[in-house]
Structure formats: C-alpha cells, structure tokens
Chains A and B, each alone.
Chain A
C-alpha cells in the first residue's frame, strides 16, 4: 500500500530482469515447510475451483528476483486456481465493491476501510476453525479497534507514522522527538506535509492529545486552526512525491509511513527517523472476505496459506512493512527485525492509536475542513452560486440567440 512510486520503479525493474524471472519461476513450489497438514490443503484438489484475490499493487511476493511465488505455490499445493488483480487506493477498492459488479473472494483493505465495510455490511464473518494458522499471530495485533473480536479480518501487515528528517538540515538535535518541530519557525519552507486529510489531521490530533477518531467538531476545528498556523511553514503537501523530495534534500522534515521511510533511508544516508512522543497513528492492512464470495472455504484456505510462517516471511521481505505473524517474524533476517525503525520497542509504540471508520458526517466535515485549509476561505453565501449559475446560463443563451438573430438578419439582406 501507499507505494505507487515504488511500484513504478519495481515494474520497470521487473521488465528489465525478465529472463532472470523466468528462470526463478521454475525454482519454487513443493519445498515449503507447512505448519498445517497437507490433507487440509489438498481437499479441494481436482475440483476445478478458482478464487479471485484483490490486493494492493506490489503487495505480495511474486517470484521476481528469486523470491517465492506465493500464488503459484498455493495453486500447486491445493489445485485451486488463483485469479489475482490489484488496486491502488482503499477508495478504489470500495467503489468497485459498491458498484456491485465485482466478485472477489479475498481482499486486503486498510483498517479504517475495514471498519467502514463492516458498518455497511459488505464483509462476511470468517470461520476461524478453517484458519488454524491464526494461532501464530502476535497477540498485540488481535482484537483491533476497527474489528473487535477479529470477526471479519486477519491482519496482514502493519506500520506506523513517524517523522523522517534530513540530518544535514536540522539545527538542533534536541528538538527532534516531538510533533512540535513541524510547527517550528526555524524550518520555514522546509517542511513537507501529508496531502491527505485523514493523515494530516491525525498529526494535529496527536499533538493536541485528541483521539485520532474524534467526532467532536470543536476538536476538529482546533486541529484546523493548528494546521492553518502551520501552513505558512509548509513547503508542499505531498504523497508519493516525498520520495523524490526527501532523497534530493529538498526539505528538512516530513511525516510519513515507517516502511517507506526505511526505503528512503536505504537510498540516502543523511535521512533519520523518529517516533513523536505525543503518540502517532498505527495502521494495519488485513485480509477479509467480501459479501458475494462464491468460494468462501477456499478463500479461508488462501488466508490460512498466507499465514504460513514461511509464506508470511517471504511476503514481508518483499513488501518491507511489519508482520503481525510471530512465527514469520522469527524466520526473518536479524537485520530487519533488529532495526528500530522497522520494529520499534513496545514502549515507543505505547502511545499509538489505530484509525477506525468515521461516521459519514465526520468524514464530510473532515474533507470540508481540509478544503478550507488548502483554499483559505471561511464565509460563503448559500444562494450565491445557484444565482450565478442561473445568470450564467441565461446570459449564454441570450448571447447565442442574439448572435443567431443577427446572422439571420444579415442573411436576409444579402
């Protein structure tokens, strides 16, 4: 998720390394060490069953660069055909499911979107007896705020938001560690912000000690005032453009997702990362089965397969986000699991809060405040635009009719 930029680069890379990939594909399959017995996986073999999986782009280990091809391994093991397709944003997934023409068996949305889908009864409850590998999950990631009791979802990855900074552009190391540095006037024009209302407001909410899921309009207004005060210091509101800008040393400070920060730090040694002490947003993507699924049991089997420690480890190595699977984490490289940015200590994450689904009213208000922040306007007259519209239409018609009449007249005389 949130890796469009990366996916473009990777896509280019994959195209370049095509011969290598073809060779790698012959390698995998058959050598996996399974934690659930084989009889469980082979019970649908030969029945010609297929499932549709809908996932983020570049969000599964796909066999490139000698990695495990998860979908092919699943197919070889179970005889269930996997039709795999990808999306770029939660909203894209949502509108596709809403339009009602899509038919998917496994989807992997983010936390707040899962909450929303549960509210709008778009998901099916999972049969946990059919997903024995659930026992390997890390307790801390179970029973999340967006899906109490883990009825509808199984966590796939997790991550959190922190501040990425350029060491060469920081005046005083002492100031690091708090959200306040993003409001520090010394960094005028050197700060990047999220160009996404929920994430941007979450920063102001953490700084003020409000809940990230507040529905109180006054608290949201407060946050808006904070963000307005910050606006003059902000160089730009960005999403994926942050990679270019931070790598090129364009800005000193930028809040972003930890997994992507790691990618950037690999490419530029001047970059550092901290978790603000006031707390931050922790997010998760989880596997769900949407209503309309035709092969629910096969879909659960697929979810179980994704929880196989070896499969999970392969996916995480490919994606770069955190894994909620304790056994899979054991299998990962010491270099990854020992990295404080990838896996911070529990104390550092003590203050974090996950996004839940917001009521529609709050979502609308949030977008409205966000637009107000970016366009700096407060007052408006309710009948102004309808009146202008009417006048504009009449004027256009008038002009065209008059032109027509004039033309007719001219033709008459000539």
Chain B
C-alpha cells in the first residue's frame, strides 16, 4: 500500500498512542504477578495465564447489566434525538446555528459537574420532588434507581447522537423531498421511503458513538445509582484504585469488554448494509 509522506506523523502517533497501549493492555490481561519462591518480600515474577480472563466470569451479571442499560439508553437517545436533528437540519441561518449551539453548550461544562447537578435534582428532597410537593404529589423515588442511571447516560451522550444525525440530514436536499411529494407520497411515506433510508448512516454512527461510551461509563452509576448499580466501568476503576490494586484483572475486564463491543458493532453493522455507507465507524 502506498502512503503519503505527510501521513507519516499520524502513523507514528497512532502506533505510540493506540497500538502500543492496546498491546500493553493485552499483555497485562494475560499475565499475573506471583511471588518468587525463597525470594525477598515483595519480589515477584511475571507468568502467563488465562486465569484473569476466567475470573471475569464472576462479573457476568455486571456485564449483562452494563450492556442492557447502555442499550436502553442508546434506544431512548435515538428516539429523542432523531426529531431534534431533523428539525435542526431543516432550519436555516441563525436559527440553525442557535439550536446547534444549545446542543453543544452543555458539553463545555465538566461531565462530573453535570452529573452532580442531576443528583441534586433527583434527590428525595431535591428540586423536582419539591416542585411536585407544591401540588401535594410525591415524593417520588428517582435517584438510586436503574432509571436514574439510564437518564444520566441519555443526558450525557445526547450530543453524540444529535451531531452525526444532523450532519447526514443536512445532506438530504429539499428538492428530493419535494420530488417525493410531487410523485404522490404522503408524509408517512416520505419519511419511510426517503428520509429514513437516507439518514441510516447517521443513525449507525450515532448509535456507535452513544453505545460505546455508555457501556463503559463509570461514574454515573456511582452518583445516580447510589453505588448499588455496579457497572463494568466501575469494576475496572475498582481494580486500579480499589484496595487490592490488581491491574491484571482490570486489563482482562477491559479486553473482554472490547471484544463484546466489537461483536455488538459487527452484528449491528449487518443491518442496512446494502450499499457503501459514508460516516460509519466500523
């Protein structure tokens, strides 16, 4: 294959910051530190083992829960964001720019801060419950539930769904829709036969960009789920900053998660794959 000389720095960059770390993760996942027999205290040697990967089996329910919650969040995100992206893409000039800005604006704030804010909103004595209290309703149990975790994911990853949808929808010409209408299609048919098929690449990118970070998120469940909804990201965090310091198991969980995401994405990419799509990630 012929690569241009200008691509060289990027190749170096990718090797150092993507390939090497990946190999390191794999190395950690398949090795373990065992004490040297008859050696000094604290002296260890490295052995190759598949034990770390086996141990991930203990966390199967956590894995399933992470994938389920992330999938639910992705679907909700899609349902909410699709109309929004369409409306933005149909608007023009200042109107469009303002809406886009409103989507982007929360992302300028720190992720932790935004999640912390949701905590104060959802609490038993939080703002939402106090508002309902004015009408004699509630208090509703909102925080420390699976729903709160999904809400946190939907809220935090929404822009990642809107932006790819928006960028693909702006490419749909008004003339195309007008042509469909001229040929006798009603609103529903225009949507099903024209807009939806043309926006599929955006949908796919959006789903990938929401699902992947959602499945490995690690602080949302602790703050909004009350620690009772341990997700796979929290589990990895625990291996590095917990009390045992077990980077090998942490790396093994990461590898398993990566493979599962790869699978989910491959299966998913099967759908609507009739033509070469622009904007798909995998």
Contact = CB atoms under 8 A, between A and B. Distances in A.
A386 B60 contact: no
Contacts of A393: 259, 262-263
Nearest to A396: B266
B68 interface: no
A94 B240 CA distance: 11
Given A89-B241, A121-B42, A248 B125 contact: yes
A186 B241 CA distance: 34
B230 A375 contact: yes
Contacts of B230: 371, 374-375
B53 interface: yes
Interface stretch (A40-48, A235-243, A282-290): A235-243
Interface in B239-281: 239-246, 255-256, 259-260, 262-263, 266-267, 269-270, 273, 276
A382 interface: yes
B244 A364 contact: yes
**Majority SS of interface residues in chain B?**
helix
Contacts of A167: none
A73 B273 CA distance: 70
Given A234-B228, A238-B226, A121 B41 contact: yes
A237 B61 contact: no
A236 B228 contact: yes
A392 B262 contact: yes
Contact of A384 (B60, B223, B227): B60
Nearest to A382: B54
Contact of A367 (B223, B227, B242): B242
A120 B245 CA distance: 14
Nearest to B241: A91
A364 B250 CA distance: 12
B57 interface: yes
Nearest to B53: A386
Interface string A108-122: 000000000001110
B177 interface: no
Interface in B206-250: 222-223, 226-228, 230, 235, 238-246
A195 interface: yes
Contact of B243 (A363, A399, A403): A363
Contact of A399 (B223, B246, B267): B267
Interface string A89-125: 1011011000000000000000000000001110000
Contacts of B144: 235-236
B4 interface: no
B111 interface: no
Contacts of B126: 248
A367 B246 contact: yes
B244 A249 contact: no
A81 B58 CA distance: 51
Contact of B245 (A95, A234, A403): A95
A140 interface: no
Contacts of B273: 403
Contacts of A368: 58
Interface in A156-201: 195-198
Nearest to B225: A236
A363 B244 CA distance: 5
A360 B56 CA distance: 19
Given A119-B42, A121-B42, A375-B59, A389 B259 contact: yes
B62 interface: yes
A241 B119 CA distance: 9
A235 B226 contact: yes
Nearest to A397: B266
Interface in A52-111: 89, 91-92, 94-95
Given A249-B125, A380-B58, A198 B227 contact: no
B120 interface: yes
Contact of B260 (A92, A94, A236, A392): A392
B14 interface: no
B238 A371 contact: yes
Contacts of B41: 119-121
Given A250-B124, A389-B259, A403-B270, A371 B59 contact: yes
Contacts of A389: 53, 255-256, 259
B58 A364 contact: no
A190 to B, nearest CB: 9
Contacts of A395: 263, 266-267
A160 B275 CA distance: 66
B244 A366 contact: yes
B50 interface: yes
Given A392-B260, A392-B262, A197 B227 contact: no
B263 A392 contact: yes
A409 B123 CA distance: 58
Given A91-B245, A367-B246, A377 B61 contact: yes
A381 interface: yes
A385 B53 contact: yes
B226 A197 contact: no
Interface of A: 89, 91-92, 94-95, 119-121, 195-198, 231, 234-238, 241, 244-245, 248-250, 358, 360, 363-364, 366-368, 370-372, 374-377, 380-386, 389, 392-393, 395-396, 399-400, 403, 407
25 contacts: A89-B241, A121-B40, A195-B227, A196-B243, A197-B242, A235-B144, A236-B143, A236-B226, A238-B226, A238-B227, A244-B119, A250-B123, A366-B243, A368-B58, A370-B242, A374-B227, A375-B59, A377-B58, A377-B61, A385-B57, A386-B53, A395-B266, A396-B259, A396-B266, A403-B269
Interface of B: 40-42, 50, 53-54, 56-62, 65, 119-120, 123-126, 143-144, 222-223, 226-228, 230, 235, 238-246, 255-256, 259-260, 262-263, 266-267, 269-270, 273, 276
Given A248-B126, A366-B244, A389-B256, 6 more contacts: A237-B226, A250-B124, A372-B58, A384-B60, A392-B260, A395-B267
